[in-house]
C-alpha cells in the first residue's frame, strides 16, 4: 500500500496545480484519449467496479470508512513524498560536492533489505501493460 499511498498523495498535489490541470484537460480533449476512455468505461471490469462503488456509496458507514481510509493513505503518502524529497536533496548536495561514488555505497541498503521491500512494492503495483482494456 506504500506505493499506492504515495501515488494518491501526488495525485492530490497535482490536482492543486493549475498547469497540471490544464494539461489534463488538453489530454482529455484528445480524440484518441476519448476513444480509449470509452473502451475502458465499456469494459466489464470497469462496469463491475462502478456498480460496487455505487453500492458502497449508499451506505453512510462505508462512505465514512472509505473517507477515513483515503485520508490516512494521503497522509502516509505525503510523509513518503517528503522523505523522497529529502533524499533527492541529499543526493543533489552530494553530487555538487563530487563525492557521490564514496557516499552512495555508504547509504546503499544491503541486498537482503531491498529484496523484501522490492517484492512488497511489486505486489502492490499492477503491471500496466498486462491490463486488458478491451
What are the pLDDT tens digits along the chain (134 aa)?
A: 566 899 999 999 999 999 999 999 999 999 999 999 999 999 999 999 999 999 999 999 999 999 999 999 999 999 999 999 999 999 999 998 875 455 445 555 544 444 444 444 444 444 444 444 44
Residue 110's pLDDT is what? 46
Residue 119's pLDDT is what? 42
- For residue 7, give Cα distances in angstroms to 10, 70, 81: 5, 12, 9
Residue 3's pLDDT is what? 66
Distance, in Å, from the CA atom of 98 to the CA atom of 46, rounded to the nearest integer, reads 50
Amino acid at each position: 500500500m506504500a506505493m499506492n499511498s504515495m501515488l494518491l498523495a501526488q495525485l492530490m498535489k497535482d490536482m492543486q496545480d493549475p498547469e497540471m490541470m490544464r494539461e489534463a484537460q488538453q489530454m482529455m480533449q484528445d480524440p484518441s484519449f476519448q476513444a480509449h476512455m470509452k473502451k475502458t468505461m465499456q469494459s466489464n471490469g470497469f462496469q463491475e467496479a462502478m456498480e460496487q462503488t455505487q453500492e458502497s456509496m449508499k451506505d453512510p458507514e462505508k462512505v465514512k470508512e472509505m473517507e477515513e481510509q483515503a485520508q490516512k493513505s494521503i497522509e502516509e503518502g505525503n510523509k513518503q513524498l517528503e522523505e523522497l524529497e529529502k533524499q533527492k536533496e541529499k543526493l543533489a548536495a552530494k553530487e555538487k560536492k563530487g563525492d557521490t561514488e564514496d557516499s552512495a555505497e555508504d547509504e546503499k541498503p544491503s541486498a537482503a533489505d531491498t529484496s523484501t521491500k522490492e517484492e512488497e512494492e511489486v505486489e502492490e503495483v499492477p503491471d500496466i501493460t498486462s491490463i486488458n482494456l478491451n
